[in-house]
Amino acid sequence: MPSCKQVTYMVSESLDGRVLCWRERIKLKIHLSMCKACQRMVRQMELLRASASLLGNTEKDETQLKQEKLSQESSDRISAHLRQAQQDAGDDAY
């Protein structure tokens, strides 16, 4: 039977998309049916995935997150770069 440590690695691997063979699946299932700590770990791993995917789609969830903004300083800097790029493009065009 796999140890709790091995089970944590198997769960992580299966989150990465590795398909466990039937033997591993049975061992995992039996272990989880008997081990409350590892059941919690699985739920936590799943929550990590859901949280990450929520952050990855931040555009849709801006209200949930702190409203960070570009600083005036960096906004000015970017503005200057953009003007320069437009100027260069203009020079090329005419």
Partner 1 sequence: MNNDPGNIAQKTDPERWLQDFGDALFRYALRQLHDAAHAEDMVQETLLAAFQARASFSGHASEKTWLTGILKHKIIDFIRKQVRESTVDDINALSDGATRSDVDDLFDHRGHWIRPPQDWGNPDKALHNHQFIEAFNRCLERLKPAHAQIFSLKELLGQSIEEICKELDITATNCSVILYRARMGLRRCLETQWVGNAPEKRS
- SS3 state of residue 60: helix
Rounded-to-integer distance, Cα 60 and Cα 79, Å = 26
Q: Is residue 85 near partner 1 by the rule CB under 8 A? A: yes
- Asked if residue 89 binds partner 1 (CB under 8 A), the reply is yes
Judged by CB, which is closer to partner 1: 17, or 22? 17
If the CB atoms of residues 68 and 91 are measured against partner 1, the closer one turns out to be: 68
**Which of 45, 47, 44, 37 is CA-nearest to residue 15?**
45
Restricted to residues 20-39, the positions that interact with partner 1 (CB under 8 A) are 36-38
The answer to the question of residue 69 lying near partner 1 (CB under 8 A) is yes
Q: Give the C-alpha separation, 91 to 64, whole Å.
A: 44
- Residue 52 CB, shortest distance to partner 1, in Å, is 4
